[in-house]
């Protein structure tokens, strides 16, 4: 069987930084410094800056996608301060779902994340689903069990065909390597990318469809360490946190991603043995 060539994606998660007054200028500058072939670029500002970032990119580089950092699990209702998927239509085309900080700080469960994922897909938005284990889980050797459970809970009974049509992206976040001084290796990330794609097959995806899902790395990504992760064929880009607010860092990260995209294009699709369910 011939493996599909996966997208190379760099998504910047600005978290609770920037205001509408400065977000547009920052997005415009980052877009200008990262204009390369072969890399899908996404900027995820706070809700309040979605419009200004969208306007700046429409004028400067409309190929850069705009993403929201979260979404509510209901379409409407008495949910003060929340934002639903239909409200994002026209403001964003991507949505981050299940980020580790949402799981930790807002107590989001896999089932709730699954509801959010469903709403994102219904609204025609493209989801980035985050999964990853805590330090204690990694030290106990439970990382595979945890990530498989997160995927099983989030995907629930949603049809693989719908998720595939929505062009699902999965970000692996080793929570133990985010802001702790500890680092994950490229081999760690590649191993978990394999677990993620195996879990998709267990959820009813064909081997071909699971193999086509981009898996991003999301653990304190910087331009200095990114090369190690993209050297792994199983990793297809990054969900970048703090470094995504720094123009030079984003320029370096996207430049490295472009090298991978060019190399993959030159190499072409990769043949692998036919497996059951492909």
Residue 96 burial (CB count, 10 A): 25
Active-site choice (133, 173, 232, 249): 173
Residue 73 is a catalytic residue:
no
Provide φ and ψ at 122, rounded to 5°.
-60, -35
Catalytic entry in 99, 108, 232, 249: 99
For the chain, give the secondary structure using H, E and C: CECCCCCEEEEEECCCCCCHHHHHHHHHHHHHHCCCCCEEEEEECCHHHHHHHHHHHHHHCCCCEEEECCCCCCCCCCCCCCCCHHHHECCECEEEECCHHHHHHCCCCHHHHHHHHHHHHHCCCEEEEEECCCHHHHHCCCHHHHHHHHHHHHHCCCCHHHHHHCCCEEEECCHHHCCCCCCCCHHHHHHHHHHHHHHHHHCCCCHHHHHCCCEEECCCCCCCCHHHHHCCCCCCEEEECHHHHCHHHHHHHHHHHHHHHHHHHHHCCCECCCCCCC
Active-site residue, 99 included: yes
The set of catalytic residues is 99, 173
């Amino acid at each position: 069987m011939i493996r599909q060539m996966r997208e190379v994606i760099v998504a910047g998660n600005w978290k609770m930084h920037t205001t509408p007054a400065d977000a547009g200028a920052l997005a415009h500058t980052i877009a200008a410094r990262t204009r390369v072939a072969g890399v899908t670029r996404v900027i995820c500002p706070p809700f309040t800056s979605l419009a200004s970032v969208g306007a700046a990119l429409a004028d400067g580089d409309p190929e850069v996608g705009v993403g929201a950092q979260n979404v509510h699990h209901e379409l409407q209702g008495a949910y003060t301060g929340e934002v639903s998927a239909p409200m994002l239509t026209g403001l964003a085309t991507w949505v981050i779902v299940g980020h580790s900080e949402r799981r930790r700080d807002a107590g989001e469960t896999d089932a709730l994340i699954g509801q959010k994922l469903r709403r994102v897909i219904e609204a025609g938005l493209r989801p980035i689903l985050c999964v990853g284990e805590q330090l204690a889980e990694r030290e106990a050797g439970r990382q595979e069990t945890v990530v498989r459970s997160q995927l099983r809970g989030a995907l629930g009974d949603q049809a693989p065909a719908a998720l595939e049509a929505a062009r699902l992206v999965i970000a692996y976040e080793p929570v133990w390597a985010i802001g702790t001084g500890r680092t994950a290796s490229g081999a760690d990330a590649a191993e978990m990318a394999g677990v993620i794609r195996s879990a998709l097959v267990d959820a009813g995806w064909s081997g071909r469809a699971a193999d086509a899902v981009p898996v991003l790395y999301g653990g304190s990504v910087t331009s200095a360490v990114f090369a190690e992760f993209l050297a792994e064929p199983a990793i297809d880009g990054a969900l970048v946190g703090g470094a995504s607010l720094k123009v030079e860092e984003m320029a370096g990260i996207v430049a490295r991603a472009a090298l991978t995209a060019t190399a993959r294009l030159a190499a072409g699709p990769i043949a692998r043995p036919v497996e059951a369910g492909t």
